[in-house]
Every structure is written in C-alpha cells, then in structure tokens.
Structure 1
Amino acid sequence: MGQTVIKLKPEEMKRLVNHYSPYRESNKPPYSVLSATLNGCKITAYESGKVMFQGADHHKEASKWGTSSKTNSKSAKTPTKNVPDFINRDHIGSDEAGTGDYFGPITVAAVYATERQQALLRELGVKDSKTMKDPTIKSIVKDILKTDIVYSSLTLNNEKYNKLQRRGWSQGRMKAWMHHHAIKNVLNKLDGSINPSGILIDQFCKPEIFHNHVKATGETSHTGLTFMTKAESYSTSVAAASMIARYRFIYEMNRLSKDVGFELQKGASKVVDQQIKRIIDIKGQNYLNQVAKVHFANTQKAQAK
C-alpha cells in the first residue's frame, strides 16, 4: 500500500479535519486527531501536524492540501541492494544493545509491526537509535510501549553472561540465543493467527554461523530469517527493537549504578578502567561479576594499575 505524508499548519489542520469529519472512523491510532476513509483512501491526521494518506489515489488526495514530505510505494521506492521486499510490509525485526559495553548486560528486543503500526512508530520518532541520545530514546520508547505493537525484550544479566562465557559460550552465541528466543516469544504472542511477511535480524555474523550458534544451544533456528547489516536504517521494526533494547540497557545501567554507588560509564574506555579499579578497591574483585563482562581486556588493564 502506497502512502503520502504531508505537514500542515494548525489552521490548515483544522480545515482538513472539518473536511473529512463526515468520513470519520470510530477507531483512531494513538496521538491522532482524525482517522477517516474516503473513496478507498485512508486519511490519518496526527497531533504533530503530519497527515498520512494511504491507499487508492493517496498522492492525488494529499495534493489537495499541500506538498508531500514523504511518499512511499512499492513501485516508487528506490531499489537498494540487499533490502528485503517485505521491508514496508508487516514483519518482525530484532536488534541488541550492550554488547560492546564493559559494564551492564546484553539486551535484545524483537518487534512485530504492521504497515499501519510502522507508520505510527515513525510518527513517534522511531529511527536508528545510534543517531539519538539516551534521554530521547527513553522518551520515545515510553510512547512506543503505549502502542499495540507485539514485542519481546530479553536481558542477559552479568552474572549469567559470565557463567556462560566460562562455559565456552562466545558473545556471538549468546546474542544468537537471545535473538532466537525474542523472535520465538513474538511468534508465540501472535499465536499462529498471523504469519509475518518476514523476519529481519540486524546482522552481527554470517547467517550460517548464526544458525550454528542457535543449534549449539539445543534449539532449532527459525526458518525464513533474513539478515542485514545496519537493518535499523531500513526497517522500522528493527529500529523500534533497537530502541527498546537500548531502553532496557539504560534501565539496567541506572540500576547497577545505584548498587555501585556512582554512575557507571558506558563503553570500554580508559575511564571504565579507572572505575573498575575503584570498584575493586571498594567492593572487591568478585563484585565485578555482578556488574561487568569480566573477560573484557579492561579487567586486566585495571588490575595492572
């Protein structure tokens, strides 16, 4: 289904709402002021001033009100290498956070969103989380969680992470295991009543290695998986999953910081090395197991200080 999005001023929005009120539908998406259908074209007006036209003659209907700020359709979309054909249809997307941070857990989220829900997510500000600061992510995710998307988020705490690592699990296997279960949880919530057009994972290893990782955990990998690097830049479902995963990671980092007694640094910098030394001096070496990925080289660097 093609769509056109325009941006209107308050006075223009009032005129549009009055015009389509006779065709108003009782159910409207969150943060919208109007949902109506006229001659096969669905019109959704949002509080932000954006109006989305979908379906029959969407561009023609939108042109009555202003210049389009974004037009999407299957035929109009510029082909991009390796972009799956289901990217603008309903699909599941998954992504993770915390893998490169010494302190804190790994978090993974999977999101199923329909075409309509993806449009709403974009309206709420969903995009690649790497382009946003944490306070912005937290604010947007709070709105995401109020919508009717189907999602699952998983957290691998540091104690279990370190236990698995000592058992010979690579971080890649842990991530594959978490992605597999997050997707499985979403599919279970859909309960077989919906068959997603696709499942897209933000690629962190070759597909065959991912499947081998899942097999090594005793599970059978899902069929029909698609892998794509920087998938959050193309898929709204993956972008939403990325933001939810980051939100959960931030939450856990704040909780751990309270336990430690000072704000833990994200990443794996020299500042992190200094904080490791401080934690060892205050709470002892064993305490790191509760808050950190202790196999990172930062541990040895801090001990050598």
Structure 2
Amino acid sequence: MSNYVIQADQQLLAALRAHYENALSDRLPPGALFAVKRPDVTITAYRSGKVLFQGKAAEQEAAKWMGEQGADPAKRQRRESTSPPLEHRLAKLSAIGSDEVGTGDYFGPIVVAAAYVDRSHIANIAALGVRDSKQLNDEAIKRIAPAIMKTAPYAVTVLTNAEYNRWQRSGMPQTKMKALLHNRTLAKLVDAIAPIEPEAIIIDQFLERDSYFRYLAEEDCIVHERVHCLPKAESVHVAVAAASIIARYVFLEEMERLSRTTGFPLPKGAGAVVDEAAARIIRLRGEEMLETCAKLHFANTKKALAIAKRR
C-alpha cells in the first residue's frame, strides 16, 4: 500500500474537507480531524496538520494538493471561490431529503420522513407548492402531501408515544432518538429505490454530522455515503421540503387517531391549552392514558396533574 504525507495549514485542511465532503468517514483514528474513505484511497487529516494518503490512488490524490502547501492564501482563495457553494451544487442533484416533526409537541409521536427526488423531477415537485411544512397550514399539508406521495418514492418511521417514553426513561436523549429514526428511515428508502443510488442524502440538521454518526455507532445498518447534515435544508433541496410535508401529514393523521382514542381533539404544541387537555385526559381516562398519547417528561405533565387535582 502506498503512503504519502503532506503538511497542511488550516485553510488547506478546510479545502480538503470541503473537496471530499461526500466521502467523509464517521470512524476517526485518535488525533484525527476528519477521514475520507474511497475505494482506491483513504485520507486522514490530523490536528497536527499532517495529511496521510493511503491506497492505490494515494500518490495521484496527494499530488493534487502538494502544490497547494506553499501557495499564497489569496491565490488559493481565488481558486476555491470559482467553485459554486455546496448548497448550490446539491440543489440540482438527484437526492434523498429527510426531516422530522413532533419533537416539540407534547401530544403525538415523532415522525421522520424521507423522500427521493430525481433531478429530472425537481421542477415537477416544486410546482406542487412544496416548501418547508412549517410555512404551510394543515389544509395545505393535506392537499399537497398526497400528490408528493404519488410522485416521489418515500419512507416514514413513526415513534409512538409509548415507545418514546420507554426510550426516554432509559436515558436516551431526544437527539439520539432523532438520529436513530433518521437513519432507519433512510435505510428503508435506500433499499426501496435500489439499484438507484442517490447523488446526495440531505438531513435537515439537528446535529453536526460527526455527532450524528456517533449516535449511530451501535446500529447494524448505517447509511453514511454522501450524507449531508445542513441547517435549513428544506431551502437547499426540494426533497427535504417534500419530506417535511410528508412527515407533517403523517403526524396530523396520528394526532387525529389519538384524538379519536381520547374522545376529543388533542392540541398541538406545548402551551397552556395542552396543559388543560392533558388534565382533562387525567380526569376522564386516568393518568396512565397519557403514556399512550403524550411525551411524559415534558413539563406539561406536572402542570396537568396540578390542574386535575384542583378540579
């Protein structure tokens, strides 16, 4: 195996990371800033500035950067600025987008949805009125979501309240729950569209990419190729916006189902009206009923118990 080492400053390290972003590995050796895993080369960048190239293409890849080691930063910056930003490049690719809803709602599950939009269908999906679900009211969600679901391959994972409460009592933070749900949803969709391979997988960011993959370390199946965790990702690619709408649509369906079970409409969010609704459930159906429809560790539970005792 060929080994080549170059010494890089902070600007070159940033350029390397950006260039190889689609092949970043979630497994880092001690002292590493980032690692790149490709079939013909492995690249490891260390905090010391040393960058190690290993594999069949090590010499070829290292050669691309050797001329950059002593380059004038201003010249290097001009060269880098000729490439369009990552977000602009991703917007035109065939991509899977992934988003979740329900994390801040006392009642109802967490729902994660992923949608695949081929580059040839981007305009068609956008023409349906697709944008971030938070910008659409419930009526618009119920109108647009079925059209998306007929047009784009998708997958959904629902974490019920009972399961959520079990995970939470085990000590699992909500960020890890979301990481597990996103990965499992992505795995279902990647399998469903095979042998098609998306050019990018874009998650609406709730964690930095490295932290996201650390939460997945014990999972048997991890989707890690070409994964990007980006803030406001629904504005980066229409697939993320489509996923957010599907997730909201399924969440609304689940809320309607839970409302039928409790016997009255359950409000969204976590405000005072939610406290009153939870207190009503306690009075009419008993505190144990909350296990099946609410996230019990929210402060709303304590407030609802106090309200129920006063009446």
2:237 match: 235
1:48 match: none
1:101 match: 105
Gapped runs of 5+ residues in structure 1?
A: 1-78
1:135 match: 139
Q: CA deviation at 1:180?
A: 0.3
Q: Could you say if the C-alpha distance between residues 281 and 236 of structure 1 is closer, same or farther in structure 2, counting changes exceeding 3 Å? A: same
Match of 1:120 among 120, 124, 140: 124
Q: Could you say if the C-alpha distance between residues 301 and 279 of structure 1 is closer, same or farther in structure 2, counting changes exceeding 3 Å? A: same
Query: In the aligned structure 2, how far is the partner of 1:89 from the partner of 1:220?
Result: 22
Counterpart contact for 2:115–2:155, Cα < 8 Å: yes
Asked whether 1:90 is paired with 2:110, we answer: no
2:262 match: 260
Counterpart contact for 2:234–2:241, Cα < 8 Å: yes
Describe the superposition over 1:166-223 as per-residue Cα deviations: whole angstroms up to 9, x where unpaired. Answer: 11111111111110011111110122x2221111000011212111111245553523
Query: In the aligned structure 2, how far is the partner of 1:220 from the partner of 1:146?
Result: 27
Describe the superposition over 1:236-274 as per-residue Cα deviations: whole angstroms up to 9, x where unpaired. Answer: 000000000000000000110111111101000011011
Secondary structure of the structure 1 residue equivalent to 2:155? strand
Decide which structure has greater helix share. 2
Secondary structure of the structure 2 residue equivalent to 1:226? strand
Counterpart contact for 1:97–1:246, Cα < 8 Å: yes
Query: In the aligned structure 2, how far is the partner of 1:132 from the partner of 1:80?
Result: 30
Query: In the aligned structure 2, how far is the partner of 1:280 from the partner of 1:82?
Result: 50
2:58 match: none
Match of 1:157 among 151, 160, 178: 160
Question: TM-score normalized by structure 2?
Answer: 0.69
Question: TM-score normalized by structure 1?
Answer: 0.71
Output the amino acid matched with 1:180: N
Query: In the aligned structure 2, how far is the partner of 1:126 from the partner of 1:243?
Result: 8
Q: CA deviation at 1:276?
A: 0.9
Counterpart contact for 2:88–2:236, Cα < 8 Å: no
Counterpart contact for 2:187–2:222, Cα < 8 Å: no
Counterpart contact for 2:112–2:182, Cα < 8 Å: yes
Structure 1 segment 189-228 matched on structure 2, within 5 A: 189-191=192-194, 193-217=195-219, 219-228=221-230
Secondary structure of the structure 2 residue equivalent to 1:165? helix
1:170 match: 173
Asked whether 1:179 is paired with 2:186, we answer: no
Query: In the aligned structure 2, how far is the partner of 1:263 from the partner of 1:220?
Result: 38
Q: Could you say if the C-alpha distance between residues 211 and 221 of structure 1 is closer, same or farther in structure 2, counting changes exceeding 3 Å? A: farther
Alignment size in residue pairs: 225
Query: In the aligned structure 2, how far is the partner of 1:217 from the partner of 1:172?
Result: 15
How many percent identity over aligned positions?
43
Q: Could you say if the C-alpha distance between residues 255 and 173 of structure 1 is closer, same or farther in structure 2, counting changes exceeding 3 Å? A: same
Output the amino acid matched with 1:223: E
Q: Could you say if the C-alpha distance between residues 256 and 223 of structure 1 is closer, same or farther in structure 2, counting changes exceeding 3 Å? A: same
Query: In the aligned structure 2, how far is the partner of 1:84 from the partner of 1:201?
Result: 16
Counterpart contact for 2:117–2:239, Cα < 8 Å: yes
Query: In the aligned structure 1, how far is the partner of 2:110 from the partner of 2:85?
Result: 30
Output the amino acid matched with 2:162: E
Query: In the aligned structure 2, how far is the partner of 1:300 from the partner of 1:195?
Result: 47
1:278 match: 280
Query: In the aligned structure 1, how far is the partner of 2:131 from the partner of 2:94?
Result: 17
Query: In the aligned structure 1, how far is the partner of 2:294 from the partner of 2:86?
Result: 36
Gapped runs of 5+ residues in structure 2?
A: 1-82
Which runs of at least 4 in structure 1 moved beyond 3 Å after TM superposition?
A: 79-82, 216-221
